[in-house]
């Protein structure tokens, strides 16, 4: 019996060492905000889930109440502790995500790509632009708590139509786009885009206007949108907010299987 227990303990240790530690991006108090920035401007009847706030007294917020509206939050006046602290938490999360070790690298986003959860993806190019019509697949491998980090050293531009496939319990709230400098979503003359994930930009972010004018829906962002300088919705946009950003460590199915198999063999050996 003693030998069997030792063998099982060894199997658990080996399986645990094979499972990667969970990757997290902790937004802190920023998770209560749909938009944060040095300045924020909106054109059109955009709807933001969560609060809207700026960095400090130098920040301005335009295009809200009545043009843009909030759900489950408010437009927070500048020089407010709530928004100041949230902005600091956003910047801290951005800086921490920049230091995460890259686990996978793609050349670019000019073709269909698949992202597996609990990984940090980077690119060979500094500035990344998507090609119209490609599909990005996010596979959580049946762990809905696992996080995806997609990081660029420079700018990130979405050109026209872009499709997302979330499978095996992947959730938009667990996708983090860490953009080194400028983030832009440009839909042009295509149908409104549905962009999956939270946007954290080191400089500015702009959602372009859709063809037909500022009153036409440019798209939906299923996540929050944070930028350290200007955060601009030049086109009507629905921003879904952060949701829950916490990632809970759950044993991977493969690890559980390894433990079971290890204990079985140890039992037989005994």
For residue 44, give the DSSP letter.
S
Q: Which stretch of DSSP H or E encloses residue 87?
A: helix 81-98
Model pLDDT, residue 215: 72
Q: In sequence order, what are the residues at sequence separation of 6 or more whose Cβ sits closer than 8 angstroms to the Cβ of residue 15?
A: 255, 256, 258, 259, 262
**Domain extent listing, the chain:** 1-19+252-270, 22-250
Model pLDDT, residue 151: 98
Model pLDDT, residue 146: 96
pLDDT by residue (tens digit) across 12-61? 344 433 457 899 999 999 999 999 999 999 998 999 999 999 999 999 99
The low-confidence residues of the chain, meaning pLDDT below 50, are 1-18, 244-270
Instruction: Name all contacts of 247-251 with Cβ < 8 Å and 24+ positions apart.
Output: 247/22, 247/23, 247/24, 247/145, 247/146, 247/147, 247/174, 248/22, 248/145, 249/21, 249/22, 249/145, 250/143, 250/145, 251/19
- Nearest CA-CA partner of 238 in 39, 52, 70, 41: 70
Structure tokens at 199: 């946007």
Instruction: Name the phi and psi angles at 164, rounded to 5.
Output: -125, 140
Model pLDDT, residue 209: 86
Residue listed under structure tokens 């829906």 = 217
- Nearest CA-CA partner of 133 in 205, 64, 193: 193
Secondary structure (3-state) at 177 = strand
Let me know if 110 is exposed, middle or buried by CB neighbors in 10 A (0-12, 13-18, 19+): middle
């Amino acid at each position: 019996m003693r030998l069997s227990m030792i063998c099982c303990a060894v199997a658990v240790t080996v399986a645990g060492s094979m499972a990667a530690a969970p990757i997290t991006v902790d937004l802190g108090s920023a998770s209560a905000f749909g938009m944060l920035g040095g300045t924020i401007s909106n054109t059109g009847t955009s709807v933001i889930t969560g609060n809207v706030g700026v960095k400090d007294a130098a920040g301005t917020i335009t295009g809200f109440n009545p043009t843009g509206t909030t759900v489950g939050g408010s437009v927070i006046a500048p020089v407010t502790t709530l928004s100041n602290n949230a902005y600091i938490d956003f910047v801290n999360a951005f800086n921490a995500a920049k230091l995460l070790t890259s686990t996978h690298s793609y050349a670019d986003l000019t073709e269909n790509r698949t992202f597996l959860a609990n990984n940090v993806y980077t690119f060979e190019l500094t500035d990344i632009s998507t090609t119209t019509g490609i599909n990005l697949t996010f596979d959580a491998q049946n762990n809905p708590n696992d996080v995806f980090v997609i990081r660029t050293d420079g700018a990130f531009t979405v050109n026209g139509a872009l499709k997302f496939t979330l499978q095996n319990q992947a959730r938009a709230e667990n996708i983090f786009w860490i953009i080194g400098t400028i983030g832009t979503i440009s839909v042009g003359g295509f149908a409104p885009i549905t962009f999956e994930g939270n946007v954290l930009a080191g400089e500015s972010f702009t959602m372009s206007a859709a063809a037909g004018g500022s009153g036409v829906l440019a798209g939906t962002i299923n996540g929050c949108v944070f930028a350290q300088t200007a955060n601009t919705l030049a086109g009507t946009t629905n921003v879904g907010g952060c949701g829950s950003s916490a990632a809970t460590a759950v044993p991977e199915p493969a690890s559980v299987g390894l433990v079971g198999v290890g204990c079985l063999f140890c039992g037989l050996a005994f």
